[in-house]
Structure 1
Amino acid sequence: MKKLHPASVAVRSLSRSLNTGFVFFVVGVIVSPGGNGMNLLSVFGLVLFGVVTGIVYEFAYYQRFRYELTADTFDVTSGVISRRDRELPLGRVQNVDIRQNVIERLLGIAAVHIETAGGGETEVSLQYVDESEARHLRRQLRGGASPERTEGDDDEALEDEVDAADSAVEPSADEEILFEIEPRELAILSVFTIDPGASVLGGIALSFASGFDPETLLPTDRIAGLPGPATGIFLLAWGLLLFVLAAWIVSAILTFTRYYGFRLTRVDDELYYERGLLQRYSGTIPLDKVQTLTISESIPFRWFGYAALGVETAGYAPGQSGSRGTESAIPLADADRVVALARAIEPFGPVDLESPPRRARERYAVRYLLVVAAIVGSAYAVARYTAVVRQWYVLAVLAVLAPFAAHLKWSNRGYCVGDRYFLTRAGFWRRTTKIVPYYRVQAVLHEATIFQRRRRLASVTADTASSASFFGRAATAHDVDTDRGLELQAIIEERLQDRLRARQRQRTVGRWFREASDDESADEDASVDRDDER
């Protein structure tokens, strides 16, 4: 069995020792009140003890971590206090991601994260192995053609194998470049993408920019002549503006570094992706395990004619992994290019969507009017008991927007029942079109809430093995007629069985051809042997 790279002790110890040192610092401050020298010395001793503990733990983790790639399984033994033995069947491996930050690239090591069909969380993480070993494992875990590597293998042979698989260099003869992000696309993606984590980082950046003194960022010359209440409102708006601006700048930087150099290639029946500036990600998307394709057209990208493509495999959905590796097969590109690539993965036909009945639009309008009524009622309550709001009834003008919002929601929903695929569309701000092959459907759900039943409406969902279904992101035809929904359910179930029978026939015929070919080869070998004997 193999061990991790020795440099993993230093890299992991850096993070572990900082965490444990901070914990013991907090403990030392709590148990050592006051500020005399003896107390400070005891706090420093606790911090040093925490740092040493983290280093010792990581060294023990390195000594006790073992992994082995066999013909059928990937075996991992780990644990410092309690031992854990895991055996992953190679047929259950869904995705193999490789991650490297700047320090790891300088040290020549990488982290390997293995996802299985059992769920969206990472099943096994190897932190860290040699770069060449990481690429070798990716090839072997995803069904590489080369034999299993042993400790005595020749290093030059391994380097040749890695060079053939490394998508960062010139593509090989059997590698097809499907997509490379252009500078203009990367700039638009960075400017208009809002990262949820950027708000915290933006606040931290704003604090550093002000030197932890908010008064340095205030326009004192502008607020000098304002009355008291106006000054408070102006300062609140000014602070909110600075916070949003800082969060936007940080979000743009994070998005730029995340998708810098994004590249998607195809080798045989797998997609290979790589991206990242400071932290480099690379991994695989197995085409034979694709469950659903999702074409996303968010505002404002849709105004410029851009879209994104997401790929969901069994037990793994976009945005679910910390690596964000398969969050997008294409993060942003011309809508026509996205549709063309989606058809290259799953050859679905023209998208001729059927819209929900018009009474669904009436339902949306009533819902939005109720929201407006709640807003106006809340404003009235605030005006009744405080002096913050005076003309609360002005908010009633929002009711004019309810019919337009209901129409936009209705017009952006639909479904299409094809011969081989079921397609659904939903969303205005982020319009998503989902393509589901019938043979990937696990269950067909026909659901109707109490409000839908009042208008004879229902929703039909084609559930797959992707864990996106657990978060309500499965392919769903919303608010169809009740009778039409039952008909859709029957059609999808019938075509599911038809596709399964067709695929079974293909596998059977393919097995017959392989057996016949093997028999012919055996006859030829026997004939050659008889000729040699003569």
Structure 2
Amino acid sequence: MTDGGSEEPLTGRAFRLHPLSVPYRIVENGIGLVVVALFVGIPAFGAIRGFLGVGLAVALAAGIAITVVAYGVAYYRRFEYELTTDTFDIRSGVFARREREIPLRRIQNVDISQNVVQRVLGIAELRLETAGASGSEAQLQFVGEERANRLQAEISRLSRAGDDGEPAEETERFETVFEITDRELGVLALVSADAQLISILFVVGSVFMPALGAIVDAEWFFGFDAGLTGLLGPLATLVGIVLLGLVYGVINATLYYGFTLRRGDEELRYERGLLQRYSGTIPLSKVQSLTIEENVLARALGYASLEIETAGGSGGEGGENTSQSAVPIAERSRVLELANSIEPAGEMTFERPPKRARERYAARYAGVVLLLTGLLYGVQTVLDVSFYWWAPLAALVLVPVAAHLKWKARGYYVGDDHVVTRNGFWVRQLKVVPYYRVQTVLSTETVFQRRRRLGTVTIDTAGSRSLVGNDAAAVDVSRETVERLREQVAGALYDSLRRRRRAAEGRGASTATSSGTTTPDGNG
């Protein structure tokens, strides 16, 4: 059955993609062929025309175009999908037939995306992400917009039913818990530039731009006095910073324009985007950890963002990110309130690493400054170009401050039901991990940590950030704290699992008692 009406049941029958997916895919692939033809095809066509003649060359080009159209039609006719109460089945393949059954209980997120053209045509792309997958497990390109929304809701409902074996409600009530304002969108555009990148650009520009100005003759290029050469580096870097901020601002404004987050009993749903529209689901039962993130500018303004990590999967739309953005930007108090409503960690008092950890940071930063200075001196010697190779030495006075700020930004907190870690100065990340989601607790010591009797405790979960080494970690804590923290988190994990098991058994016994209630005549 084609993607048509909106009232027919979604389960128990096979569907095809939307008919408009055929011309859309043909045009999409055709644009790629046109781009290739402009750079490769015209010279190739001239060579083929000289070898085969004009008639055969035109026939070959027409044959390629017909093949693209025929493949698009065949892809549409050979692609079917079917939703059952337990699986989502896909049968596809033009030359080689492929059949897939995706268990609904493994589905983490159901995302919908639409660009401007797709919204005009009334079609959308549906992506299914599962635990452990490196990308989207399945993509439907493309289905009707209304069909996509119905599939998203029905798959979420059926997958929730598979979690506890009980049927989920036909309709779930949602309430809006966050809606981005124009002011917050402006703040997001302001704070989205990477402060680390900007600082690196400023230092590099200040060192190298004067030399570049001398090479290109700044007096001739700008028409001013040659003294402008000394200002070329900082001025050009400042202009670059402004342009970089504008680019980041425009991109984030379009990506998160109209961001809305709604919450039901079992899941969160979000919508966002101006040119490219996204909507998706975040099942609360599969949340692995929360990350509250704030760069140095957002922290100064009192703003932060919240990301929710689910088990495995690529995260984001089309694997863009490893987690779902629940709040792109908001006042820190609002972010903490929403985070506590999802994982109630309560008030947190962080314990920082021992003060001797600052010695390690100071030695590291001083070494980087000296290494950079040596490299610049070597470049000047080899290239015989005069510039301020010694300029990085001025940063040595900032080394103690930087070491203190790094030490101050780190810490950990062990609560009754959660372990929380905090790391980063330029981009501070506060990670909240419930004990029952912990997979392993690792302790490590590098060579440099061992010299100062320090270590790191890493709390690994089944989340997607764990796949890229971005776990919650208590970094540079004392050796005694490493042992205590590792045993404390591991013990809390087992206690939490035992409590959840007893609670599940209690719910099961209550259900069995209510279903086994007898009638007055003694029959069950």
When normalised by structure 1's length, the TM-score is 0.82
Determine which of 16, 20, 24 is the counterpart of 1:11. Answer: 24
| Alpha-carbon shift at residue 40 of structure 1 (Å) | 9.0
Cα pair distance change 1:369/1:243, threshold 3 Å: closer
Instruction: Indicate the residue corresponding to 1:257 in structure 2.
Output: 254
| Alpha-carbon shift at residue 41 of structure 1 (Å) | 8.6
Query: Is the 8 Å Cα contact of residues 49 and 57 (structure 2) preserved in structure 1?
Result: no
Instruction: Indicate the residue corresponding to 1:67 in structure 2.
Output: 81
| Alpha-carbon shift at residue 436 of structure 1 (Å) | 0.2
| Alpha-carbon shift at residue 84 of structure 1 (Å) | 1.5
Instruction: Indicate the residue corresponding to 2:396 in structure 1.
Output: 399
Q: Which runs of 5+ in 1 are unaligned?
A: 148-160, 166-173, 200-218
Cα pair distance change 1:36/1:6, threshold 3 Å: closer
Query: Is the 8 Å Cα contact of residues 309 and 322 (structure 2) preserved in structure 1?
Result: no
Instruction: Indicate the residue corresponding to 1:141 in structure 2.
Output: 155
Instruction: Indicate the residue corresponding to 1:104 in structure 2.
Output: 118
1:2 aligns with 2:15: yes
Aligned-pair identity in percent equals: 43
Determine which of 503, 508, 523 is the counterpart of 1:511. Answer: 508
Instruction: Indicate the residue corresponding to 2:383 in structure 1.
Output: 386
Aligned pairs for 1:119-198 (under 5 A) are: 119-144=133-158, 174-194=173-193
Query: Is the 8 Å Cα contact of residues 297 and 430 (structure 1) preserved in structure 2?
Result: yes
Distance in 2 (CA, whole Å) between partners of 1:175 and 1:473 is 32
2:349 is paired with a residue whose SS is coil
Distance in 2 (CA, whole Å) between partners of 1:98 and 1:418 is 37
Cα pair distance change 1:529/1:425, threshold 3 Å: closer
> 1:53-112: CA deviations, max 9, x gaps?
332222111111111111111111111222221111111010000111222122221111
Instruction: Indicate the residue corresponding to 1:158 in structure 2.
Output: none
| Alpha-carbon shift at residue 396 of structure 1 (Å) | 1.5
Query: Is the 8 Å Cα contact of residues 18 and 51 (structure 1) preserved in structure 2?
Result: no
Determine which of 349, 361, 364 is the counterpart of 2:361. Answer: 364
Instruction: Indicate the residue corresponding to 1:90 in structure 2.
Output: 104
1:500 aligns with 2:497: yes
Cα pair distance change 1:394/1:98, threshold 3 Å: closer
2:16 is paired with a residue whose SS is coil
Cα pair distance change 1:94/1:237, threshold 3 Å: same
Determine which of 482, 488, 491 is the counterpart of 2:488. Answer: 491
Query: Is the 8 Å Cα contact of residues 28 and 42 (structure 1) preserved in structure 2?
Result: no
1:411 aligns with 2:411: no
Distance in 1 (CA, whole Å) between partners of 2:37 and 2:436 is 55
Distance in 2 (CA, whole Å) between partners of 1:430 and 1:39 is 63
Cα pair distance change 1:60/1:233, threshold 3 Å: farther
Superposition RMSD in Å: 3.3
Determine which of 26, 33, 52 is the counterpart of 1:20. Answer: 33
Distance in 1 (CA, whole Å) between partners of 2:63 and 2:239 is 41
Q: Structure 2: which amino acid aligns with 1:505? A: R
Cα pair distance change 1:239/1:81, threshold 3 Å: farther
Distance in 1 (CA, whole Å) between partners of 2:83 and 2:349 is 47
Distance in 1 (CA, whole Å) between partners of 2:381 and 2:321 is 48
Query: Is the 8 Å Cα contact of residues 379 and 389 (structure 1) preserved in structure 2?
Result: no
Query: Is the 8 Å Cα contact of residues 75 and 85 (structure 1) preserved in structure 2?
Result: yes
Q: Structure 2: which amino acid aligns with 1:485? A: V
Query: Is the 8 Å Cα contact of residues 446 and 460 (structure 1) preserved in structure 2?
Result: yes
Query: Is the 8 Å Cα contact of residues 25 and 44 (structure 1) preserved in structure 2?
Result: no
Instruction: Indicate the residue corresponding to 1:153 in structure 2.
Output: none
Cα pair distance change 1:390/1:409, threshold 3 Å: same
Q: Structure 1: which amino acid aligns with 2:99? A: D
> 1:114-169: CA deviations, max 9, x gaps?
0001224100001111122111211221125999xxxxxxxxxxxxx9xx77xxxx
The answer to which of 251-260 and 432-441 deviates more is 251-260
Q: Structure 2: which amino acid aligns with 1:118? A: G
The answer to which of 403-412 and 134-143 deviates more is 134-143
Distance in 2 (CA, whole Å) between partners of 1:466 and 1:362 is 33
Aligned pairs for 1:438-449 (under 5 A) are: 438-449=435-446
| Alpha-carbon shift at residue 506 of structure 1 (Å) | 0.6
Distance in 2 (CA, whole Å) between partners of 1:193 and 1:249 is 10
Distance in 1 (CA, whole Å) between partners of 2:371 and 2:250 is 38
Q: Which runs of 5+ in 2 are unaligned?
A: 1-13, 162-169, 199-217
Determine which of 332, 337, 341 is the counterpart of 1:335. Answer: 332
1:357 is paired with a residue whose SS is coil
Distance in 1 (CA, whole Å) between partners of 2:395 and 2:386 is 17
The answer to which of 415-424 and 375-384 deviates more is 375-384
Q: Structure 1: which amino acid aligns with 2:125? A: A
Determine which of 323, 345, 350 is the counterpart of 1:348. Answer: 345
Query: Is the 8 Å Cα contact of residues 28 and 46 (structure 1) preserved in structure 2?
Result: no
2:516 is paired with a residue whose SS is helix
| Alpha-carbon shift at residue 384 of structure 1 (Å) | 2.5
Q: Structure 2: which amino acid aligns with 1:22? A: V
Distance in 2 (CA, whole Å) between partners of 1:338 and 1:447 is 32
| Alpha-carbon shift at residue 246 of structure 1 (Å) | 4.7
Determine which of 49, 57, 65 is the counterpart of 2:71. Answer: 57
Q: Structure 2: which amino acid aligns with 1:475? A: A
Query: Is the 8 Å Cα contact of residues 219 and 225 (structure 2) preserved in structure 1?
Result: no
Query: Is the 8 Å Cα contact of residues 315 and 464 (structure 2) preserved in structure 1?
Result: no
The answer to which of 45-54 and 422-431 deviates more is 45-54
1:11 is paired with a residue whose SS is helix
How many residues align structurally?
481
Cα pair distance change 1:331/1:314, threshold 3 Å: same
Q: Structure 2: which amino acid aligns with 1:392? A: W
Instruction: Indicate the residue corresponding to 2:8 in structure 1.
Output: none
Q: Structure 2: which amino acid aligns with 1:78? A: S
| Alpha-carbon shift at residue 5 of structure 1 (Å) | 0.6
Instruction: Indicate the residue corresponding to 2:203 in structure 1.
Output: none
Cα pair distance change 1:287/1:259, threshold 3 Å: same
Instruction: Indicate the residue corresponding to 1:292 in structure 2.
Output: 289
| Alpha-carbon shift at residue 463 of structure 1 (Å) | 0.3
Q: Structure 2: which amino acid aligns with 1:11? A: Y
Cα pair distance change 1:142/1:20, threshold 3 Å: same
Cα pair distance change 1:80/1:302, threshold 3 Å: same
Q: Structure 2: which amino acid aligns with 1:339? A: L
Query: Is the 8 Å Cα contact of residues 310 and 323 (structure 2) preserved in structure 1?
Result: no
